[in-house]
Amino acid sequence: MSDQQTPNETELLVVGAGPGGYVAAIRAGQLGLDVTLVEKEAVGGTCLNYGCIPSKALISAADTAHDASTGADRGVRADPEVHLEDTVEWKDGVVDRLTGGVEQLCEAAGATVVEGVAEFVDETTATVRTDNGEDELSFEHAVVATGSRPVELPGFAFEDDPILDSRQALALDEAPDSLLVVGGGYIGMELAGVYAKVGTDVTVVEMLDEVLPGYGDDASELVRERAAEFGVDFRFGEQADEWTEADDGDGVRVTTVTEDGEASEYDADRVLVVVGREPVADTANLDALGVETNEDGFVETDGRGRTAVDNVFAVGDVAGEPMVAHKGMREGEVVAEVIAGEPAALDYQAIPTVVFTDPEIATVGMTEADAEEAGYDTVVGEMPLRANGRALTLNEEEGFVRVVADDDEGYLLGAQIVAPEASELIAEFGLALELGATLEDVSSTIHTHPTLSEAAKEAAANASGRAIHTQND
């Protein structure tokens, strides 16, 4: 990160250079504001440096190895070796390129980037502590973009060597022989897949009765069954209670308990604890600002990112669910435009969520249950991947595209996808929701053949009883 001096005053102070913070800084700079962006670690935040990007790089490498080793039915026979140290070095190179790119974009927008720790004194003043000392900075507006951090289980401190958080799990230079994953949410399932595919014996312990709660039973079941195929073992209804060194001194022994108090023990080389993330609202001396937080610790904002303090805004994970980078990025754009006097607001109904498992899960808008609870008469259409030509040529026939619409007018209300590249396919439905599109708008749009995207067209047509390549109900 560039070593710039803290100015005495600025129009906009942004605290935190994650996706929400750096986007707010860049957009505000584009709009002519004098911007100071303060970051204590690396530009790009958790997502770019220790989360989204590193994990997707490792997923890509693990998928490459797995595809090569399981291609016999397609005439490909190979026994690849995974050198995780080299993989991590490549991953770090990707991160460095992107971090450098963000720094250049900030510079091009005229934002001053300061490596340091910012703490608010009052509604218009902050101190910034750097290696060169502490300076006072006055500001007209502020954006709080302090992000989130992993939730730590009692007794499972991340400082203890065998206990890993997601950040540490993405930096191992050697795959452990065995890994116990505590938590079957999206991070746990993504990393369980990575390590299983590179040869680690992986067990996932989840206190609920299914992985990926909130993504739909059929989607969760499909992903779990696929993970089991490449070696992931699952234990449900159990909660990690304590750990000790293994009897032989090599690795750890974790004790879990059920609701009924029944205990089980698991031995592993490493333990990855991924039981959720929590907002970082207890730093930067936010109390001095007078902003309000809700019962979950998120800074409360209106539909344009403004907090209870008129000149202070909040974006990204600290500002509420869903804690995804693309929501934070859009919030960053919106608050910059609001501060600059531009008309802007965020539509929270059209924010996609994605799980980069195998296969991927992607959703946007309402599920059928959500829509009916909101009072809609719904119609649902679905296209199974087994009826999609491109899916079969990819040897990926398990999955589906599902759409939910208003039965009266046909307006699209939501979509759920379980498929390879679901993360890419969901964008079509996000745009459709943003534009108020109908089932006919989607189904009458010509989609390239043969592609996975045709499943979107067919699902929309199926909801209207007009699908060609799958049976209409």
Question: Which residues are tagged catalytic?
Answer: 449
Report the first-to-last Cα separation within the chain, whole angstroms. Answer: 57
SS3 70: coil
Nearest CA to 400 among 447, 348, 434, 359?
359
- Which alpha helices (H) appear in 51-200, and where do they start and end? 52-69, 84-108, 166-169, 186-197
Contact 16, 146 (CB under 8 A): yes
Give the pair of three-digit tokens for residue 218: 């059929």
For 112, 332, 460, the CA distances from 17, given in Å and listed in that order, are 12, 11, 40
- Asked if 343 contacts 417 with a C-beta cutoff of 8 angstroms, the reply is no
Residues 438 and 417: beta-carbon distance below 8 Å: no
Q: What is the separation of C-alpha 153 from the centre of its chain, rounded to a whole number of angstroms?
A: 21
Question: Can you tell me the distance from the alpha carbon of 381 to that of 336, in angstroms, rounded to the nearest whole number?
Answer: 39
Task: Tell which residue, 446, 300, 420, 275, has the closest CA to residue 360.
Answer: 420
Using the 8-state DSSP alphabet, how is residue 429 labeled? Answer: H
Measured at the CA of 66, the angle between CA 60 and CA 72, to 5 degrees, comes to 140
Tokens 């009692």 belong to 154
Nearest to 465 by CA among 407, 412, 392: 407
Sign of CA dihedral 154, 160, 162, 163: positive
Helices (H), 143-185: 166-169
Q: List residues bridging with 243 in a β-sheet.
A: 254
